[in-house]
Amino acid sequence: MPDEGGFTIKTVEADSEKRLDSLIADQISCCSRKLAASLIRKGLIRVSGSVKKPGYRIRAGDIIEGVIPEPETISFQPEPVELDILFEDEHIIILNKAPGIVVHPSPGHYTGTIVNGLLYHCPDLEGIGGEIRPGIVHRLDKDTSGVLAVAKSHAAHLHLAAQFKSRNITKSYLAIVYGDFQEDSGVINLPIGRHPSDRKKMSIHSRKTRVAETHWKIRERFEGITLLDLEIKTGRTHQIRVHCTAIQHPIVGDPVYGSRRAAQRIRLLKDRGALLKNISRQMLHARRLSIKHPITDQSISFEAPLPEDMVELICNLKEFKR
């Protein structure tokens, strides 16, 4: 594996006919395919001393040399972002994250994040767990709602991070998905990795995958739509969204992994189609989180109420209950 920053890749026969930008993205962890293509066009990445196009097909023996610039430092300030606090003591703070808010600053989302709000609420958080993610030990997608745990001290951060890494926590979710199920429960064991062509997505068809396990159980059945209880044993990026799509039951409203075919089938049914018309985000909610308190080691659980949009949709779907 080449070093990040300045690098040299000596290609072999197995690399033949791969795209230049794809090969770089596969071999350098800090570089996406999009970034690789940009650097290639700027001449910062060359093949045997020559400037090539991102789509150049590799030949065995090519020497690829280049530099991955240091990422720009993200500067962000405390902001009075509204936080729904479920629990707080001197060591941890547990939030009910609203849908539509980003957890930590990233390109395109430098303000108005959970982190901005936390720094305003808890000024001492700065420096705990990293400059960009102070106190954050796990994450929820922008449009996923629910329980989010934050460490308020270095000791709490180390303890919570270890719990998540060793999977000594319980994370339960609710999701509204397309389709009817024959079984009442099941387990999805499909490894997940970066999508082979779209670096912003995850996939079960990646060349490099990691174990991912999701348990599901029917909570309520409607015609063509199902409310699921889910528990994840691993914490892969977009895990529930990818797994639900993989078993042909994508989450209602998911703009990335949703199935147009599934949505179109429901929309053909006039009444249900009208219910889903204004859904603008994935109907996924982190319902419950069980951890050990990082200082007392006591087992504690937190539950976040469903957001209004999911409550309204479920109430309206009861007309079509099976």
* Beta pairing class for 299-303 and 284-292: antiparallel
What are the residue ranges of CATH 3.10.290.10 in the chain? 6-67
Burial status of residue 69 (CB atoms within 10 A of its CB: 0-12, 13-18, 19 or more): exposed
Nearest alpha-carbon partner for 170 in 252, 229, 245, 251: 229
Residue 3's pLDDT is 47
Crossing angle of helices 33-41 and 20-27, rounded to 10°: 130
For 85-166, the fitting CATH number among 2.40.110.20, 3.30.2350.10, 3.20.19.10, 3.40.718.10 is 3.30.2350.10
Q: Which of 15, 21, 26, 141 is catalytic?
A: 141
Indicate the Cα dihedral angle 125, 129, 133, 139, nearest 10°: -110
CA dist 136 and 100 (Å) reads 18
Tens digit of pLDDT per residue, the chain (322 long)? 454 458 899 999 999 999 999 999 888 866 778 888 989 999 999 999 999 999 999 999 999 999 887 655 555 688 999 999 999 999 999 999 999 999 987 767 778 999 999 999 988 776 666 656 678 889 899 999 999 999 998 889 989 989 998 889 999 999 999 999 999 999 999 999 988 888 778 999 988 899 999 999 999 999 889 999 999 999 999 999 999 999 999 999 998 998 766 666 665 555 666 677 778 899 999 999 999 999 999 999 999 999 999 999 999 888 877 7
Q: Name the residue with tokens 């994370």.
A: 171
CATH class of 6-67: alpha beta
CB atoms closer than 10 angstroms to residue 234: 15
Q: Which residues contact 127 (CB under 8 A, 6 or more apart)?
A: 134
- pTM, two decimal places: 0.75
Question: For the chain, where do the domains classified as CATH 3.30.2350.10 start and end?
Answer: 85-166, 170-320
Q: Specify the CATH number for 170-320; select among 3.30.2350.10, 3.30.428.10, 3.30.420.40, 3.30.9.10.
A: 3.30.2350.10
Half-sphere exposure (Cβ direction) of 235: Cα atoms closer than 13 Å: 18
> Which pLDDT score, from 0 to 100, does residue 1 have?
44
Which residue type occupies 285?
H
Active site (annotated) includes residue 141: yes
